[in-house]
Structures are given as C-alpha cells and as structure tokens.
C-alpha cells in the first residue's frame, strides 16, 4: 500500500531506528510511502533532521529529492544536497547515509570547515572522520581559488586534524611541485607546520626541500627535512629542540646525504645544550650547570654546499666542547673539554689545532682580608692540552693574584691602581724532563675623568717575566724580561643618547721596540655612531697607523624599517690597500604593485687599477628576494649568485600555516642557537 503525503511542509513523520536511540524527522512538498518496502520518496524543498537520543539535532539534510529506507536506516540523495552537522556544511552531488551507524558516502562532496574547503570525487563517512578520494583542499574562498592542493586521499577528523597523501600544489591551474605528506592539527594552536622550497642551483640541479615541524608538547619540538636534488639524490635531516625555562635549553641539528655522482657520504652535526643541575643538598646555595656546543662536518665545504644562509657556511672549521660549572656567591669553578679542527692545506680535510681534556678554571670573586683597604681576586686554570706542532699532551696551568683599590680623588676623577702576580707551570714531559715554573708580575694603573658628556681614561700597564725556575727578572732574554710596558688612552664622548665618539691608542714604552713614534704608537682607533632620526643611523670605524697609513676603514649607513630600508657598507684593509669591499642592501615595496616587496643585496670589490690585469668591479655575491602576498598565501622568490653558487628557489607559505601569534618557544631556540635566522625560518 502506498501512502501519499502532499504539501506537507509543516508535517513530520518519525521513523524508529534499529537501536531505538536515533530518529529522523522530515518535511517536503510531496512524498509517498510504500509499506511493503518501507521506502519513503520525498520531493520538493525536502528537509530531513536527525535527532539524537537526547532529542538534540544531530544532522540536517536539505535537497530536492531524498529516499528514506527505514528497514536499513539509510537515506539516499540522488541529486544535489546540503548537509549540516556540528562539524560544518557538506555539499554533494549524491550520497547514501546510514543514520543509525553514522556512516555512508558522498559523490563529489565539498566540505567547508573553519578556514578550509575540502572536496573529493568520493567521500566516505564514519563516526570518527571523513575520507576524501581524488581530493582537493584550499583555504582560498575565491572561485576559482588562487591555489589548491590535489591529493590522492585526505583523512579529515573534524576538530582534530587532517592528513593528505600524494599532494601536488597548484597555483591556479599550474602545477608547481609535489610533496608526499601534509598534516595539520585543527585544535590547540598550530603545533605542525610544513613548508617546501623548490629551486635550482648549478651544483645540485633542480631540487625541492621539504620541512615538517611538529610541536610534541610545550617543551619539545622536532623538524624533519626531506630533500631531493636531481643531480645529487636524496638528502635527509632534522632538528630537535628541548626547552624548559630556567632548566634546559638544547638543540640537535643533523643532515646527511650520499651524493649520487660521487657516492660520497656527506654530513653535518650541530647544536648543544645548557642544563641547570640539581643541588647536592638543601644547604648548598651554589648553582650547577652543564653545557655543550658542537659543530661537526664531514668536510670543510659541507655547510657552503647545503646551508647557505648559515654564517658558518663560509667557516670550514669544526669544534666541540663540554663543560660543567659550579657558581656560588664567591667562586666559579669550571671543568671542560674541547677540541678544534681547522681546514687542512689540501682544503678537503681537517687537522687538529687544539685539544684539551680536561681543563679546570677557577675564579674567586673580589674579597677583602681583614681590615686591609684593598680588594683581592684570584683566577687560574690547569689543563692537559695538545696544540699545533706538539706531538704530545702538555700539562700546564697558571694562576693570577690581583690586589686593587678604587681611590676617588676629586669629583669625577677616580684612580684605580692594581698589582698582580702570575705563576705558570709546565709539567715535565718526554720532551721536557723538568717542570718549568715561570713567574710574572706587574701593575695596572688607570685614571678616569668622567663627566656627563663622557669620560677620559689614562692607563699605565707593566708586566715582567721571571727566569724559568728562578726568582728575578729574565734580563738576559731579547726583551729583557719586559713583556708589557705601555701607556693607554681612551676618550669617550656621548653628547646625546643617539650619538657617541670613541678614540683610543696605546704607546709602547719598552726599550727594545725602538725610538721612532711609528713603532711605539699602536694604531689610533676611532669610532663614530650617529642616529639623527629613528630610522637612520651612521657608523664609522677607522684604524690609523702613523708612518704607514690606514690599517682599516669600515663604514655603515642604514636607513628605513623592516619593510623599506637601504643599507650601504664600505671597508678597506691594509692587506689589500687598493681594494674596497662594498656591501649594499635594500628593501622596498613596489609603488606600482603594493602587494610585492623586494629585498636585494650586492657585495663586491672595487679595485683601483694598479696593473693591467686589475678589474674595476669584482662581484662575490648578488642576491634578490621577491615577496608577493595573496589574500590566502604568501610567496617568496630567492635568487643568489656567489662564488661556486648560482641558486634560485621559492617558498610558498599557506595561510593554513600561519601561527597567528608569536611563538616564545621558537624565539628562544632561534635566539640561542640560530640567531642569524629570520623569524619564521625553519632551517638554514
């Protein structure tokens, strides 16, 4: 028997589910019911509401046509429909839903959730998540969208996360690059960030660098690097940061690649830690620390080839250190071990320049003895060290006792005299059969005249060396045992908070130096800083040697803010007197295209022609960065040319990766371990 329900916009029909806990209520312009098949066909302004056991609305479906099969608790939408639930709004061409088990599928479904738009050729539903097949995602609400990500499948758990596999990033209709995995949590901030750097350079060929950063909790963050270079193959790496305020700050960065053309394993390992240790007892007021820093490389050129924004890219050295420190109100004791390697002569390897294992440093803060009107201080060290040119470890140490006093003379005039004794010791080795004790003694006297506009310092320093294992000055040596005998003067003037001038030099009084002024007088050093406006400052530093001319000249001018700026630097050194090193940088918004911003850098040498082969200009770095902001994502385009490097790459930062607020955890890690990184940079 068929029951017709006509013009029933205000009329409802309840269907019991198999569990007795859910029911649906519908209304439509027309409808019919077959009691034999238990099928209801609804047409015209159809609205179907699913109610939960507490009579609260769970889901609403609106469509032109719906078919309800009560025997199997299913709803079939043969045409376009809209479904609303607590997660958001779903649009589909057709679909099937089981309102008892909350499962089903949608053909050509589109889901708007928070700031995202998910779509798929087929969307499978279950109570925990949606599965989009042959899917797309975007955060652009334009039609067509500025960008989209096409994925083979997307798992969406509303209020929790989405996970996408086999992804192609499109700008408009143009595919730009591929990345295997995209993951983003949808609650509790943004602990996961993914970014991608497609690019090209002459050495590596075309490449794509992908980064995945995940915040495990408030103290731990990890990053994974997955890179592919067409000429070199796959490179992998990552970073781990662990940060507990006032307790621990640590970082581990590693990268490894087996280059396809040479089959050579290349790697880098950087980082360190600072950790505050627990006190040994409640009565112990001292603080205990452990710290380490290391920069290890497979070869001197590794950083230059793979981490070009790192200032150590042009530093081929490697080193490592570990130290434990005890600091009380009166003493500091430090036990450490360290090693340093410099680039070898063949430029492909390293040689060990220094190693100490261990070294002990001790410092006693200034203290008084009895009622004597002077302050005493002591510092010393002892180490077992191996240095360049020594095939053995040398055990050596030294200690310095200083007695000083501050003597106010008149208003603004202060005298600070001090005397010291230094004792060094070299323990006997196979090359040196006896212990060597060498004493040194001396004095420092400084007179300072200080006023509101600045200060003037006049100092006298003297240090004499004793004969090995004997008392008395080493008068038979070439320097007659006088290591230091000099006058020092410094003038500092600060007429305003935004301006200062400083000049200082040293005059050598030792007999063996010679009588000429040019030999005795050290270079005169001048510094000038002036910031006439908030966004303008000028710095100049000059070192002048009488009789020889300028030792060095460095100038720097900077004007602007973070977005629009101009900087110009000039340097000249006596080692290359005909060469001037110029550093130019600028950043500005393009007047004809306000959404574009450019940053440029030029570093080059200007050579005065002293010979037929001299060149007027020698560029050693050229770079240009373009930033373009869209309403839903940001792009940066980088061009860089320097010695052995010609590189281009670009970065796309999606709105879905914007963190919204400053991340204090990231600031601490960046400032402590990678201060050269700009805010938001995930890697070098």
Q: Is residue 607 part of a domain?
A: yes
Q: Is residue 353 part of a domain?
A: no
Burial (Cβ within 10 Å: 0-12, 13-18, ≥19) of residue 583: middle
Tell me the pLDDT tens digit for each residue of 54-111.
777 878 888 888 888 877 778 888 888 888 877 778 888 888 888 777 788 888 888 8
Q: Is residue 301 part of a domain?
A: no
Q: Is residue 489 part of a domain?
A: no
Q: Give this prediction's pTM.
A: 0.69
| CATH number reported for the structural domain that contains residue 145 in this entry | 2.60.450.10
Q: How far is residue 538's CA from residue 301's CA, in Å, rounded to a whole number?
A: 35
**Would the pLDDT of 498 be above 60?**
yes
Q: How far is residue 635's CA from residue 627's CA, in Å, rounded to a whole number?
A: 6
Domain stops at, among 605, 629, 653: 629
Tell me the pLDDT tens digit for each residue of 499-513.
999 999 999 998 877
Is 340 within 8 Å of 319 (Cβ atoms)?
yes
Burial (Cβ within 10 Å: 0-12, 13-18, ≥19) of residue 410: exposed
Q: Which residues contact 240 (CB under 8 A, 6 or more apart)?
A: 220, 221, 222, 223, 250, 251, 252
Domain stops at, among 155, 185, 215: 185
Q: How far is residue 193's CA from residue 213's CA, in Å, rounded to a whole number?
A: 5
Q: Is residue 29 part of a domain?
A: yes
Lowest mean pLDDT: which of 9-18, 281-290, 560-569, 670-679? 9-18
Q: State the total domains in the chain.
A: 2
DSSP string, 138-178: E---SSS-SEEEEEEEEEEETTTEEEEEEEEEEETTEEEEE
Domain stops at, among 629, 651, 677: 629
Q: How far is residue 9's CA from residue 25's CA, in Å, rounded to a whole number?
A: 12
Q: Is residue 305 part of a domain?
A: no
Tell me the pLDDT tens digit for each residue of 3-51.
333 333 334 444 444 444 567 788 888 888 777 777 888 888 888 888 8
Domain ranges, residue 37: 2-185
Lowest mean pLDDT: which of 115-129, 178-192, 246-260, 573-587? 178-192
Quote the pLDDT of residue 622: 84
């Amino acid at each position: 028997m068929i029951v017709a329900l006509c013009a029933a916009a205000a009329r409802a029909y309840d269907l019991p589910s198999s569990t007795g806990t859910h029911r649906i209520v519908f209304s439509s312009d027309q409808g019919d019911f077959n009691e034999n098949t238990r099928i209801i066909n609804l047409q015209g302004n159809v609205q179907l509401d699913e109610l939960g056991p507490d009579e609260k609305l769970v889901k609403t479906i609106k469509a032109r046509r719906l078919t309800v099969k009560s025997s199997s608790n299913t709803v079939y939408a043969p045409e376009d429909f809209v479904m609303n639930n607590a997660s958001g709004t779903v649009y589909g061409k057709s679909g099937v839903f089981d309102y008892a088990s909350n499962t089903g599928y949608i053909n050509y479904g589109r889901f708007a959730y928070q700031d995202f738009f998910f779509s798929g050729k087929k969307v499978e539903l279950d109570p925990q998540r949606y599965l989009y097949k042959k899917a797309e995602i975007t955060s652009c609400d334009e039609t067509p969208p500025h960008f989209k990500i096409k994925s083979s499948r997307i798992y969406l758990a509303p209020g929790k996360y989405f996970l996408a596999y086999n992804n192609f990033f499109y700008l408009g209709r143009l595919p730009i690059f591929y990345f295997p995995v995209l993951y983003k949590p949808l609650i509790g901030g943004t602990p996961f960030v993914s970014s991608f750097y497609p690019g090209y350079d002459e050495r590596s060929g075309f490449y794509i660098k992908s980064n995945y950063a995940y915040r495990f909790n408030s103290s731990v963050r990890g990053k994974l690097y997955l890179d592919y270079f067409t000429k070199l193959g796959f490179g992998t790496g990552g970073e781990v940061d662990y940060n507990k305020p006032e307790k621990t700050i640590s970082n581990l960065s590693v990268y490894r690649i087996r280059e396809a053309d040479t089959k050579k394993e290349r790697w880098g390992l950087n980082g360190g830690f600072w950790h505050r240790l627990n006190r040994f007892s409640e009565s112990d007021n001292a603080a205990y620390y452990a710290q380490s820093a290391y920069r290890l490389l497979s070869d001197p050129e590794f950083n230059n080839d793979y981490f070009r924004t790192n200032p150590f890219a042009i530093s081929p050295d490697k080193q490592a250190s570990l130290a434990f420190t005890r600091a009380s109100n009166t003493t500091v004791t430090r036990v450490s071990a360290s090693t340093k390697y410099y680039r070898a002569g063949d430029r492909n390897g390293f040689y060990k320049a220094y190693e100490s294992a261990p070294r002990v440093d001790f410092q006693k803060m200034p203290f008084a003895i009895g009622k004597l009107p002077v302050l005493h201080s002591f510092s010393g060290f002892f180490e077992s060290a191996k240095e360049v040119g020594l095939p053995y470890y040398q055990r050596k140490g030294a200690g310095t006792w200083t007695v000083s006093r501050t003597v106010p003379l008149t208003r603004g005039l202060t005298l600070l005299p001090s005397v010291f004794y230094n004792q060094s010791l070299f323990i006997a080795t196979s090359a040196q059969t006896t212990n060597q004790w060498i004493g040194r003694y001396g004095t420092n006297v400084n007179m300072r005249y200080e006023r509101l506009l600045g200060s003037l310092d006049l100092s006298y320093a003297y240090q004499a060396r004793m004969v090995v294992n004997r008392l008395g000055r080493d008068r038979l040596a070439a320097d007659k045992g006088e290591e230091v005998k000099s006058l020092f003067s410094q003038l500092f003037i600060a007429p305003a908070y935004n301006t200062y001038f400083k000049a200082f030099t040293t005059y050598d009084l030792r007999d063996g130096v010679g009588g000429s002024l040019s030999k005795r007088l050290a270079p005169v050093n001048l510094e000038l800083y002036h910031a006439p406006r908030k966004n303008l400052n000028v710095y100049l530093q000059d070192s002048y040697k009488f009789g020889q001319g300028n030792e060095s000249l460095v100038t720097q001018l900077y004007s602007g803010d973070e977005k629009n700026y101009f900087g110009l630097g000039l340097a000249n050194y006596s080692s290359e007197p005909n060469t001037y090193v110029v550093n130019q940088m600028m950043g500005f918004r393009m007047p004809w295209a306000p959404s574009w911003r450019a940053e440029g850098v030029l570093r080059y040498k200007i050579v005065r022609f002293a010979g037929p082969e001299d060149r007027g200009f020698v560029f050693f770095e050229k770079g240009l960065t373009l930033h373009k902001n869209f309403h839903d994502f940001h792009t940066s385009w980088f061009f860089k040319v320097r010695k052995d490097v010609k590189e281009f790459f670009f970065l796309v930062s999606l709105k879905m990766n914007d963190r919204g607020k400053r991340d204090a955890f990231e600031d601490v890690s960046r400032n402590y371990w990678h201060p050269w990184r700009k805010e938001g940079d995930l890697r070098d």
